[in-house]
């Protein structure tokens, strides 16, 4: 018999197996582009801030902030989780349990007050819910306050996600194995109409079984050899299209664009996230100045407000030194100049570099000779030419010499001896005075 396209839609007997084929795929891939872009940038900031050192003279607080905040986390993992949650949720809550451990809350209810301090109830940490209510003075509560990021991720990235999902579907269709099987020359299948079994369930058509085996072999095996019966013609349609590579390039570009947009809102140079080598120093400086420094300042302010009392603030205040910490080797020339003109003392310079003060470092120096500035002016004779040789050597850090206690004078400063003056004039004067 003849087998044509019209028969597929008019004759139920001949087309029974065709109705079972999935000609149109119904699965749709849900692409979380928003989470990908946001998590990429948040993880980048979390890794950067976690390298900071929290300096304080309170030994117990220093240990909690820099070594072991709680039993289950190191300082690095703790700060990574805190920054990641701060960026992704726009706020983060840290509570302290009865043992003094610092715990990052997974969920909580923020009870906002107008006059009295805010409270936090229903605090949950790792599936454990605290029954008590925490006051604002008992917790660390940091808000990122980036409304642009929230608006962008909630609205614009949804459009990116739809576009990205369509690109994925387009690429999958281009790479999909599609073929046609022509049974027009086969009559054996027509006489093998399936009959219902004893339970009334319909049996599968022999032609349908053959097609399932055929495409299973192509889908599951690297090398598939399928014998074709006489009168069966197999034609693969998907091999005629070669534009799938462009679709994958578009997917990569769309994903990169979403990450770049979120990075710019957070103040991260996109080139640093993607590992670009161009203008690395400039991009790193922009990251430290406009992203890391404000973030560290938020943390520093919250720690000083909640973890340090007013009476001990001058002694125990917390300072955050991250990757934005000045490099003394790169600033050596500037340090030399600002110290030489007496603007800052050595301890003031050390404080700005994140180092502890040293004894004798509060003295100011002036001029290129680094002479000590005193409250009273030095006498005119107090210069290097009026000092002994050993005094000059001591000022230079050298050991004294034998016979070096004599004062060294230049030729211009050597006094002239008047001619005709008797060497014993002093004795004569004494004799005359005695008379």
pLDDT digits (tens, 9 = 90+) for 5-18: 334 334 434 434 33
Cα–Cα separations (whole angstroms), residue 156 to 51, 148, 261? 32, 11, 10
Residues in the chain: 435
Question: What integer best gives the mean pLDDT of the chain?
Answer: 75
Task: Give me the pLDDT at residue 370, please.
Answer: 54
pLDDT confidence band for 371 (50 / 70 / 90)? low
| 328 closest CA partner among 352, 362, 364 | 352
Q: Is the pLDDT of residue 19 over 50?
A: no
Task: Give me the pLDDT at residue 27, please.
Answer: 32
Exposed, middle or buried, 37 (CB in 10 Å: 0-12/13-18/19+)? buried
Q: For 1-15, 169-183, 236-250, which range has the lowest pLDDT when averaged over its residues?
A: 1-15
Q: For 57-71, 101-115, 230-244, which range has the lowest pLDDT when averaged over its residues?
A: 230-244
| Chain CA centroid to CA 39, Å | 11
Measured between alpha carbons, how far is 208 from 154 in angstroms, rounded to an integer? 47
Task: Give me the pLDDT at residue 269, please.
Answer: 94
**DSSP strand pairing (91-96 vs 233-236):** unpaired
Instruction: Convert the pLDDT of each residue in 74-88 to its tens digit.
Output: 999 999 999 999 998
Instruction: Output the pTM of the full model.
Output: 0.62
Count CA within 13 A, CB hemisphere, residue 345.
13
Exposed, middle or buried, 212 (CB in 10 Å: 0-12/13-18/19+)? middle
Q: For 319-334, what is the mean pLDDT? A: 84
Instruction: Convert the pLDDT of each residue in 206-238 to its tens digit.
Output: 667 777 777 777 667 666 666 666 667 777 765
Q: Are 13 and 193 in contact (CB under 8 A)?
A: yes
Task: Give me the pLDDT at residue 316, please.
Answer: 92
Measured between alpha carbons, how far is 170 from 163 in angstroms, rounded to an integer? 10
Task: Give me the pLDDT at residue 373, please.
Answer: 55
DSSP 97-119: -TT--EEE-SEEEEE--SSSPPE
Task: Give me the pLDDT at residue 281, please.
Answer: 87
Exposed, middle or buried, 287 (CB in 10 Å: 0-12/13-18/19+)? buried
Task: Give me the pLDDT at residue 325, please.
Answer: 78
Cα–Cα separations (whole angstroms), residue 351 to 51, 263, 285, 336? 20, 32, 21, 15
């Amino acid at each position: 018999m003849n087998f044509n396209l019209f028969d597929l839609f008019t004759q139920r007997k001949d087309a029974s197996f065709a109705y079972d084929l999935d000609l149109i795929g119904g699965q749709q891939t849900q692409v979380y582009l928003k989470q990908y872009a946001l998590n990429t940038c948040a993880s980048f900031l979390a890794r950067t801030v976690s390298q900071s050192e929290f300096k304080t003279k309170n030994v117990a607080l220093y240990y909690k902030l820099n070594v072991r905040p709680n039993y289950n986390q190191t300082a690095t993992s703790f700060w990574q989780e805190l920054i990641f949650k701060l960026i992704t949720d726009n706020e983060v809550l840290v509570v302290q349990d009865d043992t003094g451990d610092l715990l990052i809350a997974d969920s909580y209810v923020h009870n906002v007050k107008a006059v009295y301090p805010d409270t936090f109830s229903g605090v949950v940490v790792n599936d454990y819910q605290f029954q008590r209510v925490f006051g604002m003075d008992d917790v660390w509560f940091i808000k990122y306050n980036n409304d642009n990021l929230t608006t962008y991720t909630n609205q614009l990235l949804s459009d990116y996600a739809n576009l990205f999902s369509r690109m994925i579907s387009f690429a999958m269709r281009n790479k999909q194995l599609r073929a046609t099987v022509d049974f027009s020359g086969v009559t054996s299948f027509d006489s093998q109409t399936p009959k219902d079994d004893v339970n009334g369930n319909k049996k599968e058509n022999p032609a349908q079984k053959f097609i399932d085996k055929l495409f299973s072999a192509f889908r599951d095996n690297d090398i598939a050899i399928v014998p074709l019966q006489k009168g069966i013609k197999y034609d693969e349609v998907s091999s005629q299209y070669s534009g799938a590579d462009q679709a994958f390039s578009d997917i990569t570009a769309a994903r990169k664009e979403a990450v770049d947009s979120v990075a710019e809102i957070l103040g991260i140079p996109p080139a640093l996230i993607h590992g670009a080598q161009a203008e690395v120093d400039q991009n790193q400086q922009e990251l430290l100045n406009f992203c890391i420094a404000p973030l560290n300042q938020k943390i520093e302010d919250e720690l000083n407000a909640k973890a340090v009392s007013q009476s001990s603030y001058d002694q125990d205040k917390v300072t955050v030194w991250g990757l934005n910490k000045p490099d003394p080797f790169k600033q050596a020339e500037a340090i030399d100049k600002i110290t030489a003109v007496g603007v800052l003392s050595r301890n003031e310079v050390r404080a700005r570099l994140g180092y502890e003060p040293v004894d004798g470092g509060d003295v100011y120096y002036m001029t290129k000779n680094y002479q000590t500035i005193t409250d009273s002016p030095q006498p005119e004779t107090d210069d290097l030419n009026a000092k002994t040789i050993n005094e000059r050597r001591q000022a230079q850090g050298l050991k004294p010499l034998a016979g070096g206690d004599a004062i060294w004078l230049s030729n211009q400063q050597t006094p002239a001896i008047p001619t005709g003056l008797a060497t014993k004039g002093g004795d004569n004067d004494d004799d005359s005075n005695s008379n």
